[in-house]
A = this chain, B = another copy of it.
Amino acid sequence: MNSPLKNDLYIRALLRQPTERTPIWVMRQAGRYLPEYRQIRTEAGSFMNLCTNPELACEVTMQPLRRFPLDAAILFSDILTIPDAMGLGLYFAEGEGPKFNKVINSIADIKQLKRPDPSVSLAYVMDAVALIHKTLNGDVPLIGFSGSPWTLATYMVEGGSSKTFSKIKNMIYSEPHTAHLLLDKLADAVIDYLNAQIESGAQAVQIFDTWGGVLAPDMFKEFSLHYLEKIVAGLHRSYNGSTIPVVLFCKACNSHLEAVADTGCDGLGVDWTITLSEARARVGDRVALQGNLDPVIMLTNPETIETQVKATLASFGKGHGHVFNLGHGITPEVDPLHMTILTEGVRQHSPAWHID
Contact = CB atoms under 8 A, between A and B. Distances in A.
Interface string A243-261: 0000000001011000000
B273 A165 contact: no
B255 A165 contact: no
A296 B272 CA distance: 27
A166 B218 contact: no
A299 B255 contact: no
A189 B114 CA distance: 59
Interface stretch (A48-56, A128-136, A148-156, A169-177): A169-177
A216 B272 contact: yes
Interface in A236-292: 252, 254-255, 272-275, 278
A215 to B, nearest CB: 7
A295 to B, nearest CB: 8
Given A173-B297, A301-B174, A217 B255 contact: no
B275 A217 contact: yes
A273 B216 contact: yes
A265 to B, nearest CB: 21
Number of copies: 2
B331 A296 contact: no
A282 to B, nearest CB: 11
A121 interface: no
Contacts of A333: 166
Contacts of A165: 296
Nearest to A219: B294
A164 interface: yes
Contact of A296 (B164, B217, B275, B299): B164
Contact of A164 (B273, B278, B304, B331): B331
12 contacts: A166-B299, A166-B333, A169-B294, A169-B299, A170-B300, A173-B304, A173-B308, A174-B300, A216-B272, A216-B273, A217-B275, A254-B254
